[in-house]
Amino acid sequence: MNSTILRMVAGRVLSGFGSLLAVSVVVFAITAVLPGDAAEEKLGQDATPEAVSALRKEMGLDRSAVERYVSWLGGIATGDPGKSVVNGMPVSEAVASRLPNSLLLAAVTAACAVPLALGLGILCALWRGSTFDRVTSMTTVAVVCVPEFLVATLAVLVFAVHLEWLPALSSAASLSSPGEMLRSFALPVLALGSVITAQMLRMTRAAVIDQLSAAYVEMVRLKGATAARTVLFHALPNAIGPIANAVALSLSYLLGGVIIIEVIFNYPGIAKLMVDAVAQRDMPLVQACTMIFCAAYLILVLLADVCGIVANPRLRHQ
């Protein structure tokens, strides 16, 4: 049993590297097609052909795209993601100063959202059709439909500007004490959490309901198990696969898709770093961020699969 899982993980890791490589080629090609390069972006209105070519030379953009890609790939293989062409700072340094912030925000959001979503989802499935289920379902549909920038903006207007309970900005620098952190993170976590909670909740509910309507659950009921026991020990283990996948998809979104939250709360995370890098055509930085997002996604999906297989022995033999 263990060897099956190990073999599967190894296979996934290998194909993961393949995916990363493919993504890096695609991203490099797409950014090469974008109009303008780092030198032109940097000089903006002051760009004269002479200044642009001097700057290009300094940034190493006078080499061909293939050449730049190959040297970048060589750097990555040896663990050196290179230097930002825009400010000459090592990419690893830029990422290292931003990634922990994003991970922290993602972790706090996940810690709040996952238990909430799973708990509510199971309850909804259990009490399907009840007032509780209908109210929760209506609310989650409504929340999923509202884009998070609107949630964030409204939350800031209400809780920061009018009530003055919470700060309107969330800088990672003000996280010295737990109380400060709570205040600082409350609004971003609320905005981020509401969308993914709603998604996970609906998936959980659907997965559990799916299991509850299966024949073996009827058998469990006929044997006289309590409702709680039926759900927790019989239906849930079989629903873990789809639930883990829903959680993984939602969490991967937390790392890469939070750009709007980072903008609204001026939070120095990695998504904003990457968007800036794209706007400035800073290829080494764009590539490094892409790799991180892509790797995070692959790892989460892999974990979800492993969870599903461990929870459901039947999957091991397919």
Residues forming contacts to another protein in the complex (CB under 8 A) are 34-36, 40-51, 54-55, 58, 84, 86-87, 89, 94, 97, 153, 156-157, 160-161, 164, 167-169, 171, 173, 263-266, 268, 272-273, 276-277, 279-280, 282, 285
Residue 291 CA to residue 117 CA, distance in Å, equals: 29
Nearer to another protein, 195 or 286 (CB): 286
Q: How far is the CB of 175 from another protein (least distance, A)?
A: 14
- 225 three-state secondary structure: coil
Residue spans of beta strands (DSSP E) within 66-145 = none
CB 116 within 8 A of CB 314: no
Q: How far is the CB of 30 from another protein (least distance, A)?
A: 14
Q: Is the dihedral of CA 80, 85, 91, 95 positive or negative?
A: negative
Q: Which residues pair with 234 in a beta bridge?
A: none
Cα angle value 202/199/108 (rounded, 5°): 125
Nearer to another protein, 238 or 287 (CB): 287
Q: How far is the CB of 156 from another protein (least distance, A)?
A: 5
Nearer to another protein, 264 or 309 (CB): 264
Q: How far is the CB of 111 from another protein (least distance, A)?
A: 25
Q: How far is the CB of 44 from another protein (least distance, A)?
A: 5
**Gyration radius (Cα) of the chain, Å:** 24
How many residues are there in the chain?
318
Number of other residues whose CB lies within 10 A of the CB of residue 241: 19
- 123 three-state secondary structure: helix
Nearer to another protein, 205 or 272 (CB): 272
Nearer to another protein, 130 or 171 (CB): 171
